[in-house]
Amino acid sequence: MARTLSFLLLGLSLLFPATTVHAQVWSLVWSDEFDVDGLPDPARWSYDVGGGGWGNNELQFYTENDPDNARVENGLLVIEAHKESFQGNAYTSARLVSREKGDWTYGRIEARARVPGGRGTWPAIWMLATDGIYGNGDWPDTGEIDIMEHVGFDPDRVHGTIHNHKYNGQLGTQKGGSLFLPTATTDFHVYAIEWSPEQIDFSVDGTIYFRYFNEHRGWQTWPFDRPFHLILNLAIGGDWGGQQGIDDTIFPVRLEVDYVRVYENTNLPQVAFTPPEPVAPGQRLTLAAEASIAQGSIDHVAFLQGDGVLGTVSTPPYTLDVDNVQPGCYRVAARAVDAQGWFTRTPASDLQIGAGDCPQAPYLMAPHPVPGTIEAEYFDLGGPGVGYLDLDTQNQGQGIRTDEGVDIESTADDGGGYNIGWTAAREWLAYTIDVQETGLYTLQARVASPQSGNRFRIEVDGVPVSEDVEVPDTGDWQAWATATAEGIALTEGLHTLKFRFLTGGFNLNHLTLTREQPTGTETGDQPGRPVRLEVYPNPSRQTSRVVLDLPEPGPVALVLYDVAGRRVRTLLEGHLPAGQQEIPMPATGLSPGLYLVRLNAAHHHETRAWLYLGN
In Å, what is the CA distance from 537 to each residue of 125, 483, 490? 78, 37, 19
- Nearest-angstrom CA–CA distance, 519 and 529: 14
542-555: string of b/e by CB count within 10 Å (b at 16+)?
A: eebebebebbeeee
| 3-class secondary structure, 580 | strand
CB atoms within 10 A of CB 88: 8
Of 98, 90, 97, give the one whose Cα is nearest residue 58. 90
Pairing of strands 368-370, 428-435: parallel
**298, 291 in Cβ contact below 8 A?**
yes
What phi and psi values does residue 13 have, to the nearest 5 degrees? Answer: -65, -15
Please indicate whether residue 73 is annotated as part of the active site.
no
- Nearest-angstrom CA–CA distance, 60 and 85: 9
- Nearest-angstrom CA–CA distance, 384 and 382: 7
- Nearest-angstrom CA–CA distance, 326 and 134: 35
- Nearest-angstrom CA–CA distance, 439 and 613: 19
Cα angle for residues 72, 74, 77 (degrees, 5° grid): 30
Instruction: Say which amino acid occupies 109.
Output: I
- Nearest-angstrom CA–CA distance, 596 and 59: 74
Residue in 144, 194, 256, 377 annotated catalytic = 144
Residue in 58, 80, 110, 149 annotated catalytic = 149
**352, 385 in Cβ contact below 8 A?**
no
- Nearest-angstrom CA–CA distance, 64 and 542: 87
| Structure letter (DSSP) for residue 38 | B
In Å, what is the CA distance from 120 to each residue of 199, 232, 243, 409? 32, 17, 8, 41
Please give the positions annotated as active site. 144, 149
